[in-house]
């Protein structure tokens, strides 16, 4: 049966980068026997401006029925104030993650040799970096109750958010990380603040138990979140799979992105246990460069590779796409964000062309 793929390009550079990812997926549908039923729908602030709603009901119905969603980006700082809060909630990415129970957010960070010069880190530190952060995505600080801002007796205000994790939420995240590590180098770093947070101590205890009882072949290393932030830039090659909560995962995955020199390179996948998934580049709508045709589409294209691996269940095709991206980079294909000073930069569509050319060459190589 054809995979039901819903494309939500959204705002800013979202439509520019998802267009290139869709071209690549259409190539796989046409040439590699991966049947896909691709639908595109309006969503986000652009949709609100044009049609008065960030999230049309019809789009929402398609979101809940899709096998896979390819998401671009949403938001722009200068427009957020004008959208009513109710409309913003309807159109929020948090609502999608929660409704679909997309608890496992995978953010792979891999530095191809061709990009060693684009990294702000020294080549000897960053060469060979290849790890995945599994960020728990449906609980913790961004969802915990009570939350809000209240006025105290003296008239000043108090802001409250609650960091809360149930044991079951920790167990399923750590299980996912350990299963992932079994197909990799069998090393999981579990990140928390067990030294100062009760919920962190629980996280640490439960993670150790899951790894010991269910995954005897996996080495589980506990690490404090502040130390992890340091190690990600000091020694990124020591990591294989990192599992952590929603808040730390948000921060650490951006810190990890430093290894690549640009947010535009980073893909992500958010998965549930029912076989549904949302794929998106880690970057936002990049209003500073939107509409110029210069955004880097590789985060979106590498998200399509994750889609081939996790939704189409065709890991060899995912690897083919990742090889093609490496080959295009090795041949010098660069957008401005990863080009060296003075180096010629391609447009967003130019990178799409380069990846499609590389795919064509890869499949013509003798096996
Ligand atoms: P951003 O990720 O949009 O941009 C940060 C910097 O990275 C900018 O200098 C931008 O030009 C650059 N950049 C981002 N993507 C790029 C690409 N594909 N190629 C080349 N350069 C790229 O983050 P920022 O500026 O903090 O937020 C802008 C808007 O995006 C805000 O409204 C924010 O709320 C929203 N946002 C949305 C996300 C999502 O949809 N998942 C995630 C992060 C931010
Ligand atoms: Mg973030």
Q: How is 215-255 classified by DSSP, letter by letter?
A: -TTSEEEEEEHHHHHHHHHH-GGG-SEEEE-HHHHHHHHHH
Determine the pLDDT at residue 336: 95
Topology of the domain covering 1-105+266-367: Isopropylmalate Dehydrogenase (3.40.718)
Active site residue 37: no
Question: Atom of ligand 1 at shortest distance to CA of 289?
Answer: 11
Residue whose CA lies nearest to ligand 1 atom number 8: 286
Active site residue 357: no
Determine the pLDDT at residue 94: 86
Q: What is the DSSP string of 154-200?
A: TS-EEEEEE----HHHHHHHHHHHHHHHHTTTSEEEEEE-TTT-HHH
Determine the pLDDT at residue 276: 97
Q: With 70 as the cut, is the pLDDT of residue 46 above it?
A: yes
Counting ligands in written order, the one closest to the CA of 336 is 1
Determine the pLDDT at residue 77: 58
256 against 39, higher pLDDT = 39
Q: With 60 as the cut, is the pLDDT of residue 271 above it?
A: yes
What homologous superfamily is domain 120-260 in, according to CATH? Answer: Isopropylmalate Dehydrogenase (3.40.718.10)
Q: How confident is the model at residue 304 (pLDDT cuts 50, 70, 90)?
A: very high
User: The whole model's pTM is what?
Assistant: 0.95
Q: With 70 as the cut, is the pLDDT of residue 367 above it?
A: no
Determine the pLDDT at residue 66: 97
Q: Residues with Cβ within 6 A of ligand 1?
A: 13, 17, 73-77, 93, 262-264, 280, 283-289, 295-296, 299, 337
Residue whose CA lies nearest to ligand 1 atom number 12: 286
Q: How confident is the model at residue 143 (pLDDT cuts 50, 70, 90)?
A: very high
Cβ atoms within 10 Å of 51's Cβ, excluding its own: 10
Mean pLDDT, rounded, for 267-296: 96
- The torsion angles phi and psi of 244, rounded to 5 degrees, stand at -160, 175
CATH 3.40.718.10 segments of the chain: 1-105+266-367, 120-260
Q: What is the DSSP string of 13-82?
A: THHHHHHHHHHHHHHHHHHS---EEEEE---SHHHHHHHS-SS-HHHHHHHHH-SEEEEEE---HHHHTT
**Where is average pLDDT lowest: 5-14, 51-60, 97-106, 251-260?**
251-260
Determine the pLDDT at residue 261: 86
Helix (H) or strand (E) holding 316, with range, is helix 315-330
Task: Give me the catalytic one of 113, 117, 226, 273.
Answer: 226
Pocket test for ligand 1, best of 16, 286, 339 (most atoms within 8 A of CB): 286
d(CA 299, CA 287): 17
Residue pLDDT, tens place only, 331-345: 999 999 999 888 889
Q: How confident is the model at residue 30 (pLDDT cuts 50, 70, 90)?
A: very high
31 alpha carbon – ligand 1 mean position (Å): 33
Mean pLDDT, rounded, for 114-124: 92
Active site residue 240: no
d(CA 246, CA 138): 7
Active site residue 131: no
CA 56 to chain centre: 24
% pLDDT > 70, the chain: 98
Q: Which residue, 316, 365, 256, is CA-closest to 34?
A: 316
Q: With 90 as the cut, is the pLDDT of residue 80 above it?
A: no
Helix (H) or strand (E) holding 134, with range, is strand 130-136
330 alpha carbon – ligand 1 mean position (Å): 26
Determine the pLDDT at residue 117: 87
């Amino acid at each position: 049966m054809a995979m039901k793929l819903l494309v939500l390009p959204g705002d800013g550079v979202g439509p520019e980068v998802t267009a290139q990812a869709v071209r690549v997926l259409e190539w796989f549908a046409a040439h590699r026997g991966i049947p896909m039923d691709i639908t595109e729908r309006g969503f986000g602030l652009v949709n609100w401006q044009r049609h008065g709603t960030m999230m049309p009901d019809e789009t929402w119905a398609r979101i809940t029925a899709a096998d896979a969603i390819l998401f671009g980006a949403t938001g722009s700082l200068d427009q957020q104030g004008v959208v009513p809060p109710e409309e913003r909630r309807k159109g929020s990415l948090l609502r999608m993650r929660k409704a679909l129970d997309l608890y496992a957010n995978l953010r792979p960070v891999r530095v191809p040799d061709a990009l060693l010069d684009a990294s702000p880190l020294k080549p000897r530190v960053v060469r060979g970096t290849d790890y995945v952060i599994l960020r728990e995505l449906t609980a913790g600080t961004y969802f915990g109750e009570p939350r809000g801002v209240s006025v105290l007796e003296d008239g000043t205000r108090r802001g409250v958010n609650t960091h809360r994790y149930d044991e079951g939420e920790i167990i399923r995240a750590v299980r996912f990380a350990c299963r992932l590590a079994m197909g990799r180098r069998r090393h999981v770093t579990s990140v928390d603040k067990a030294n100062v947070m009760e919920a962190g101590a629980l996280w640490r205890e439960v993670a150790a138990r899951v790894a010991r009882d269910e995954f005897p072949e996996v080495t589980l290393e506990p690490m404090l979140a502040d130390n992890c932030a340091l190690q990600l830039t000091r020694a990124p090659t020591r990591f294989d799979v990192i599992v952590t909560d929603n808040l730390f995962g948000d921060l650490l995955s951006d810190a990890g992105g430093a290894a690549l020199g640009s947010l535009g390179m980073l893909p992500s996948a958010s998965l549930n246990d029912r076989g549904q998934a949302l794929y998106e580049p880690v970057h936002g709508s990049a209003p500073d460069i939107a509409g110029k045709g210069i955004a880097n589409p590789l985060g979106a294209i590498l998200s399509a590779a994750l889609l081939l691996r996790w939704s189409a269940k065709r890991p060899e095709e995912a690897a083919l796409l990742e090889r093609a991206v490496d080959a295009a980079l090795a041949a010098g294909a660069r957008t401005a964000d990863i080009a060296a000073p003075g180096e010629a930069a391609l447009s967003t569509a130019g990178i799409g062309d380069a990846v499609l050319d590389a795919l064509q060459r890869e499949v013509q190589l003798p096996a």
